[in-house]
A and B are shown apart, each in its own frame.
Chain A
Amino acid sequence: MTKKVLVIPCSGIGKPFGTIGRDATLRVVDELRPGKAETNCLSLLVMGDEEAAKQVKGSLCIAVDGCPMECARKNIEAAGGKVAVHMRVMDLLRENRGLRPREVTFLDEDGEKLSAILADRLAAKVDELLEDRR
């Protein structure tokens, strides 16, 4: 198995949740846990890219979904990956009732806040998964 945790967001383009999930994933992979977490394009997995398929089968995966459609989880499982942790941005929003992220293209203030909260949660999960693996 590879040593990094694979974090895959749905990146849904129609709702703020997709942008938030994507943004949080990139925060974790590039800023909070570089070298410990990585990401890849969901569509590469589904379209049968060989390297992506090897990566998803050889990694512990965290699926980050925006909404109850759960496209990331479904597509990772369909590609033969094991979803060790599943997070939905909507569930996080329910824990933070005061936040109203509205923008999709560029995150607004509430979107940024929710992304930061999600990124911290994801980073903690990455640590847990890597700890469990030892």
Chain B
Amino acid sequence: MKIRPKIGVVSCSGECCGLGTLSRVATRLILEGVRPETVTLCLPLFLAGDSGEREFAQRFPTIPVDGCHRQCAKKAIEKYSGPTAADVDVEALLEEWGVEQPADRRVLGEADVELAERVAAEIAKRIDWVQGEQGA
């Protein structure tokens, strides 16, 4: 019997720009359908010291999804729980793809939602890789 290990995904807060909104939406898309077996951790709760969130990240592989190079989610996980299993830097992805970030940080247009789906696919790749490593 093959058991798929639990994976945590945690998005940055991302109020400062559209990259944070992309990061947040992509993480939600993972939970809602792309990889529904994952567990989404709440970063503000994690930062405020919630033991459930921090203990999960200590026990199970966790992937931070950061909007930008400041990598708040990754640094928070590393500080309070331990090394991350993989990570996603949305700013770096957009640079690689030659795509601009959303102009509006509150409301995503159709093209921005498609971009979020593309980011979600990248998160999914990392989830699959981590699960493959764990199942080996």
Contacts and interface: CB of A to CB of B under 8 A. Distances in A.
Given A26-B105, A30-B106, A42 B76 contact: no
Contact of B14 (A12, A41, A49): A41
Contacts, number: 90
A43 B28 contact: no
A134 to B, nearest CB: 27
A27 B42 contact: no
Interface residues of A, number: 32
Nearest to B72: A43
Contacts of B105: 26, 30
A26 B106 contact: yes
Nearest to A44: B72
A19 to B, nearest CB: 8
A13 B48 contact: no
A67 to B, nearest CB: 10
A1 interface: no
A75 B44 CA distance: 8
Contacts of A8: 15
A11 B13 contact: yes
Contacts of B48: 69-71, 74-75
Interface string A11-49: 111100010001101110010000000011111101101
Given A43-B44, A47-B76, 12 more contacts: A11-B13, A11-B14, A11-B44, A12-B45, A13-B24, A22-B15, A23-B106, A40-B16, A71-B44, A72-B44, A105-B28, A106-B108
30 contacts: A9-B15, A11-B14, A11-B15, A11-B24, A12-B42, A13-B28, A13-B43, A14-B40, A14-B45, A30-B105, A39-B16, A41-B14, A42-B43, A42-B47, A43-B13, A43-B44, A43-B47, A43-B72, A43-B76, A44-B13, A44-B16, A44-B72, A47-B75, A70-B48, A71-B48, A72-B44, A75-B44, A105-B25, A105-B29, A105-B32
